[in-house]
Structure 1
Amino acid sequence: MESAVAREQALDAAETLFYGRGIQSVGMDDIRGASGVSLKRLYQLFPAKEHLVVAYLERRDIRWRGRLAEYVAGHEDARQRLLAVFDWLGRWFGEPDFRGCAWINSYGELGATSEPVADQVRAHKRAFREYLVRLVDEAGLPCELAGHLHLLAEGAMVTAAVEQSAEPAARAGRAARTLVDSYGARTARRPAID
């Protein structure tokens, strides 16, 4: 079996099992059984389970942020793009296999004991926040708004997982609209500087 194919099969199995059941409850034998990749090959590709977890989170990050950016880019107005983030979160929360944020879940399970996993989680959250900073900048709003929107989104992710509902995205979206409108009104009232 080619390395690239075996790697993808292992990552597919890891994503399904880690996200669905939790990282600590899944062993490498489970990954072997679900992927069809031999245990020997698995350990050649990922010398420790921690390496597999980091690779799973890295790959998921690329897909997650890509899907979000694609959805948001479909909105022409810069301020609507900010609010579209929360619409997209609602769609994600409503997916039948939604089990919360994979990075928050991973941090909860391994963040205190695995620095590579904690680093991957921090990198994902930092990239998401930086994306919001860019959207806020494109909307011509003060950069501090991005931090508020980031907290709203992160809180919605946790609440959606606990409540098993997409509704937290709508609540966070309404709060985001209030913030965007408030910051927009303040920005509009500022006198022009010559």
Structure 2
Amino acid sequence: MDSTAAREQALDAAEELFYGRGIQTVGMDDIRGASGVSLKRLYQLFPAKEQLVEAYLERRDIRWRQRLAEYVDRQGEPEQRVLAVFDWLGRWFAEPDFRGCAWINSYGELGATSPRVSAQVRSHKSAFREYLRGLVAEAGLPSPLADQLYLLAEGAMVTAGITRTTEPAEQAAEAARALVEARR
């Protein structure tokens, strides 16, 4: 198996296990067993578990933001694109394997002790905030609205992760609509 295939198999296993069970409860031997990549090869690819966690978060970030953008891009009007973020959150929260925000979860587990994990989390959250700022600007809405919508979305993510319901997305969407209407 070449390095690219082994890396992808290891990351697939890491994503499933880290997201499903938590990072600290999953050992490299668990990743080996789930991926079929030997422990020796795994450590060649990722010399430390922290590097595997970093790669998992980095790859998940790309996929998560791509899925969000694909959904939002299907909306025609710029203002509808802003609100579509919250519709997409509701769809994400409804997925059977939803376990909350991977970055918030990772930060909660390792943020105090892992600069690599903290950097990945900050990068993801910053990119999401910038994405919202871009949508708000395209809609011709006042720029401070983006930060308010960001806080609504983040709060919905945390609450949905705890309650395992889509209601936080619905409530955040309602609040977002009210904010957008008030800022027109």
TM-score by structure 1 length?
0.95
Letter in 2 for 1:58: E
Letter in 2 for 1:101: C
Q: Which runs of 5+ in 2 are unaligned?
A: none
Give the alignment's Cα RMSD to 1 decimal. 0.3
Number of residues of Structure 1 aligned to a counterpart in Structure 2: 184
Give runs of ≥4 in structure 1 deviating > 3 Å: none
The CA distance in 2 between the partners of 1:125 and 1:85, in whole Å, is: 14
Q: Which runs of 5+ in 1 are unaligned?
A: 185-194
Partner of residue 192, structure 1: none
Partner of residue 99, structure 1: 99
Query: Identical aligned pairs, as a percentage?
Result: 75
Partner of residue 29, structure 1: 29
The CA distance in 2 between the partners of 1:89 and 1:120, in whole Å, is: 21
Task: Tell me if 1:63 matches 2:63.
Answer: yes
Partner of residue 175, structure 1: 175
The CA distance in 2 between the partners of 1:162 and 1:14, in whole Å, is: 22
Aligned-residue offset at 1:73: 0.4
Aligned-residue offset at 1:74: 0.3
The CA distance in 1 between the partners of 2:121 and 2:171, in whole Å, is: 25
The CA distance in 1 between the partners of 2:58 and 2:172, in whole Å, is: 26
The CA distance in 1 between the partners of 2:44 and 2:127, in whole Å, is: 30
SS in 2 for 1:112: coil
Aligned-residue offset at 1:174: 0.2
Partner of residue 43, structure 1: 43
The CA distance in 2 between the partners of 1:83 and 1:38, in whole Å, is: 45
SS in 2 for 1:109: helix
Partner of residue 114, structure 1: 114
The structure number with the bigger radius of gyration is 1
Aligned-residue offset at 1:137: 0.1
Letter in 1 for 2:4: A
Partner of residue 133, structure 1: 133
Partner of residue 158, structure 2: 158
Aligned-residue offset at 1:147: 0.3
Partner of residue 7, structure 2: 7
The CA distance in 1 between the partners of 2:84 and 2:141, in whole Å, is: 16
Letter in 2 for 1:33: G
The CA distance in 2 between the partners of 1:16 and 1:111, in whole Å, is: 20
The CA distance in 1 between the partners of 2:28 and 2:147, in whole Å, is: 38
The CA distance in 2 between the partners of 1:63 and 1:15, in whole Å, is: 12
Task: Tell me if 1:123 matches 2:123.
Answer: yes
